[in-house]
Amino acid sequence: MFRDMNMIYEAHEANKILFEEHMHSACYEDTEPFLNRISPLYQVCIVSDADEAMIPRFHEAYGIPIFISEHYQSYKNDADNAMFKQLLDRYQVDPSKVIHIGDSVTDVVGAKREGITACWLNRNKRSWDHKVAPDLVIQSLEELEGIL
C-alpha cells in the first residue's frame, strides 16, 4: 500500500507511529474537568475497542480501570458482548444503574444489549439513523452532570 502511494515506510514502523500518535492525542477540553467532578462520586471505567497501546494514559491519574477488546477478545458490539458482561460482573451492579457514554453506534448497541443506559456523545451534531436508539444524547460531558 505504501509503495502504491509512493511512500517509503515499513508497515511495522507505520503501525508504531499510529499507536504513538493515538496514545498521545489530547483529551477534549471537557474531559478532565468532568472526571474531576464525577470520579469522587461514581465508579468510572473505560470500555474501548482500542488496543491498550492506543489508550491515552490520562486514566491512570484517576485510577480508572479499562475494559478493552484486547483483554477480552471481544468488541463492544459483538454477539458475546463479553466486555460489558465482565464490567457488570466485576462491579456486581445492576445494568440499569450503569450509564455508558460513547460516540459510536457500537457503544450504543453494545450497552443496550446488556440493559445498560446508552448515552451517545454527539459532539459533531450528527444525525442518528440506526435501528437501536440511544437513551440519552449529549453534545458535551458537561450536559451529563445534570442527568446523573
pLDDT of residue 131: 93
The residues near 130 (Cβ < 8 Å, ≥ 6 apart) are 105, 108, 109
- What's residue 28's pLDDT? 79
User: According to the model, what pLDDT value does residue 11 have?
Assistant: 66
Query: What pLDDT does 6 receive?
Result: 65
* Spans of the chain, pLDDT less than 50: 22
Q: 27-145: which CATH topology?
A: Rossmann fold (3.40.50)
- Report d(CA 117, CA 75) in Å as an integer: 18
Q: Which three cell numbers stand for residue 56?
A: 491515552
pLDDT value of residue 108: 94
pLDDT tens digits, residue range 95-129?
A: 999 999 999 998 999 999 999 999 999 999 999 99
**What pLDDT does residue 12 have?**
62
pLDDT at 81 (0 to 100)? 84
Which is nearest to 123 in space by CA: 137, 134, 135, 112? Answer: 137
